[in-house]
Structure 1
Amino acid sequence: MHNTLYTHRRNLHAFLFLLLMLLPVALLFRNPQPASAAGFMASWPYKADRLESKQMVVVTAASARSQKGVLSLREKREGKWVTVLSGIPVTLGSGGIGKTKEGDKRTPSGVYPLGGAFGSAAGPDGLSIPYTRTGSYDYWIDDPSSAEYNQQVTYTGDPNRRWSSYERLLHPLYKYAIVLKYNEDPVVPGKGSAIFLHVWKGADQPTAGCIAMSEGNLLKLMKQLDASLSPAIAIGTADSA
């Protein structure tokens, strides 16, 4: 009887020890922690190098649910990243960041190349990135069933007969804009389209998934971008730690 009781106690102690060892792991998977500010700031330079980018727009949101963020511009000079612009307030998608599908109203998180600029106004002087002036026949297609999904198209016919969904580029918010090359290589139908940096409605007005800022700040950013530096954008979250 004594030996049996001793064996039961030993087995109980072993079980409790194993339970205490596994409990932190179980809690980790049950409540995954958000990426810290340090983690995001450490990861984008590595991804910039993979894109061979020497100019990076960095957009930081407080959390994945945030509708606002802060934008800065960094350049790699003599092997070190130097801040060129900082403290620019931006508005983000009404659904936060972390885009997963068309229409979710989220801004994509991650690192992406930047394309050229466009706008309904004449191109500003002194730009070092391509600029296209848009008119009443210019559209960006967000119809996932179209072969022209997530592309800019010039079309003189009735757009409603050609696409079930599209954006007119002759729009006040697109007086100036920069293309974010999200879902382009390859284009995946339904993953999301028409992601731009553009003029905001206001400091408290979220977007449908783009990144928006004041016209003055957007022009300031556009004039700093240099196509020869392969500009890209990094979008991520920063916790309060």
Structure 2
Amino acid sequence: MKGVIGYNGFAVSKKEGDGKSPMGIYSFGTAFGTVTKPSGMAWTYRKSTTNDYWIDAPSSKYYNKWYTSARKPAVSHEKMYQPLYKYGAVINYNTSSIVKGKGSAIFLHIWRGSNSATAGCVATEEKNVVRILKWLNPKSDPRIVMGTVDYVKKMK
């Protein structure tokens, strides 16, 4: 399926705000969306609300984490209740032993279009995102492989 990545391509060493998608092999975290969980989906799913944010400010103790509050965060953040996140999944990049400034909010989500890059996420058509969410099986430990063709060819 066709997809898009960060507007500055891929990065071996990602940094917050660089507009690049991180190269590597990553597991998936929680799937999410602004609508009800798709039927036939086995993966953990969280329905987002207007009070849900993903904090991308390295100075915050909530850096690279889902944050729920009735008040808009005072630091840089992603709104989790938005059209591109009707369906999505967290890509587990820098989510365990979080390194401040290494990059945050890396998701699989719906694209704006085939010629519209992301800020560092991976995006594809809505039907494909739903297809991937339904494909995710907790018993299979699925991964996403991200990188240039040369980078991926060198992986073992």
- Normalising to structure 2: TM-score of the pair? 0.92
Query: Which SS does the other structure have where 1:230 is aligned?
Result: coil
Rounded Cα–Cα distance in structure 1 between residues aligned with 2:42 and 2:71: 33
1:94 aligns with 2:7: yes
Distance 1:158 1:134 in 2: 15
Shift of 1:233: 1.3
- Tell me which residue corresponds to 1:158: 72
Rounded to whole Å, the distance in 1 between the matches of 2:115 and 2:128 is: 16
Quote the residue 1:234 is aligned against.
Answer: 145
Quote the Cα distance in structure 2 between the aligned partners of 1:96 and 1:186.
Answer: 25
Write the distance in 2 (CA, Å) between the matches of 1:176 and 1:219: 7
Instruction: Name the SS of the counterpart of 2:59 in structure 1.
Output: coil
Q: Which residue in 2 is equivalent to 1:114?
A: 28
Q: What is the match of residue 115 of structure 2?
A: 204
| Percent of matched pairs sharing the same residue | 43
Deviation, structure 1 residue 222: 0.9
Structure number with larger C-alpha Rg: 1
CA positional deviation for 1:185: 2.0
- Paired AA for residue 107 in structure 1: S
Assess if the C-alpha contact under 8 Å between 2:51 and 2:72 holds in 1. Answer: no
The gaps in structure 1 that reach 5 residues or longer are: 1-87
Gaps of 5+ in 2: 151-156
Q: How does 1:157-236 map to 2 (within 5 A)?
A: 157-160=71-74, 163=75, 165-236=76-147
SS in 2 for 1:229: coil
Read off the aligned partner of 1:116 and give its amino acid letter: T
Q: Deviations over 1:149-169 (max 9, x none)?
A: 000011112323xx2x00110
Aligned residues: 150
Amino acid in structure 2 at the alignment position of 1:174? Y
User: Match for residue 61 of structure 2?
Assistant: 147
Equivalent runs, 1:45-56 vs 2, <5 Å = none
Q: Residue type matched to 1:90 in 2?
A: G
Q: How far apart in 1 are the matches of 2:131 and 2:87?
A: 11
Residue-by-residue CA offset, 1:139-158 (whole Å, 9 max, x unaligned): 00001000100000111123
Q: 1:211 Cα deviation (Å)? A: 0.2
Alpha-carbon distance in structure 2 between the residues aligned to 1:201 and 1:208: 12
Relative contact order higher in (CA < 8 Å, ≥ 6 apart):
2
Query: Structure 1, residues 185-233: CA drift from partner, whole Å, max 9, x if none?
Result: 2100010000000000001000000000000111111111101111111
Asked whether the 8 Å contact 2:55–2:78 carries over to 1, the reply is yes
Shift of 1:234: 1.2
